[in-house]
Amino acid sequence: MNPTLHAARLGLSRGWTEFKHALVNPQEIGFTVVLSVAVVVVMYFQRDATLPGTSISLATATLPSVLGMLTAFNGLLGAVGSMAVEREDGTLLRAKALPQGMVGYLVGRIVSVSLTTVISVLVVLAAGLVLLPSVARTGPGGWLTLVWVLVLGLVGTLPLGAIIGAVSNSPQTAAGMSMLAVGGLTAISGIFYPLSALAGWLQALAHVFPLYWLGLGMRSALSPAGPSAEIGGSWHTLETVGVLGAWAVAGLLLAPPILRKMARRESGSLMQMRRDRALQRIG
């Protein structure tokens, strides 16, 4: 069997095992649960408010964009956090010793974080089905769109998170960099208000990154208001596929060599030094 394919197959098994362990470990899945519950609470209080001049509830208008944000948050931050921690605990050092170990590690990380993100999205969607009648009226085409946007969004953000985690010196640095990146992109990506309200150069910047397209794709799947508030009055489906697909391909091509380069610099002495620094921070 091809070594890369064999490593990817082992990564699939590893990712499934890690996901099952995370489900019974509150510390590993706590962030996802808290974020999902917070979104549900916001939806509950928004359900009776309506958009000015329409009968569409504020929660219905906000839900699709928030699902895009959840996908990016869980995908990016989940990969960043685990990567930074596993540099310190020796997981990456052990993966380095295996043939195509970085490929298997990356596949496993994509699988485990993706499954956790899917659980988060399902929790919020289940609440939407109960609280928002329009969500229950979504047709097969809308659900199919939601699935492919979710898949492309995860594959586009997870390798990026792995790269950030690989180049960071500590979990604290990785968390800070990723939170800054996601927070800044959320502010300019039309998640909570129409992108057309921003300056032209900010709109152009938002179009480069996957978060805007994640929100747009989710709105095209679930929004009952239609695309009239979007730039150009269109859902831009082909562009959504193209940009998210480009980020996915670029991430999958760039992440393995970056991880391998990082792994070549790893050693037992470096790992012990990072552990000592972590213990000093705790102490």
Would you state the torsion angle of the CA atoms of residues 99, 102, 105, 106, taken in this order, to the nearest 10 degrees? -140
Indicate the domain borders of the chain.
3-282
* pLDDT under 70: residue ranges of the chain: 1, 27-28, 53, 84, 87-90, 93, 96-99, 169-171, 265-283
- Tell me the per-residue pLDDT of 46-92, one tens digit each, with 9 for 90 and over: 877 777 767 777 888 888 888 888 888 888 877 777 776 776 666 77
How many CB atoms lie under 10 A from the CB of residue 250?
Answer: 13
Backbone angles phi, psi at 50, to 5 degrees: -125, 155
190: left (phi over 0), alpha (psi -120 to 50) or beta: left
Please report the pLDDT score of residue 238 as a whole number.
Answer: 94
Please report the pLDDT score of residue 104 as a whole number.
Answer: 81
CB 108 within 8 A of CB 12: yes
Please report the pLDDT score of residue 48 as a whole number.
Answer: 79
- What number of H helices and E strands is found in the chain? 12, 0
Task: Give the SS3 label for residue 169.
Answer: coil
Q: For residue 129, how many C-alpha atoms fall within 13 Å in the half-sphere facing its CB?
A: 10
DSSP 197: G
Rg (CA), the chain: 20
Please report the pLDDT score of residue 282 as a whole number.
Answer: 55
Which residue's structure tokens are 């659980």?
A: 119
CB 17 within 8 A of CB 114: no
CA distances, 9 to each of 1, 75, 79, 86, 183 (Å):
11, 21, 19, 21, 34
Q: Give the span between the Cα atoms of 188 and 203, in whole angstroms.
A: 7
**Could you please report the per-residue DSSP string of 42-67?**
HHHHHTT-B-TTSS-BHHHHHHHHHH
Question: Which structure tokens are listed for 59?
Answer: 């929660």
Type and span of the H or E element at 130: helix 101-131
Please report the pLDDT score of residue 277 as a whole number.
Answer: 62
Nearest to 72 by CA among 271, 210, 226, 256: 210
Please report the pLDDT score of residue 196 as a whole number.
Answer: 76
Please report the pLDDT score of residue 23 as a whole number.
Answer: 80
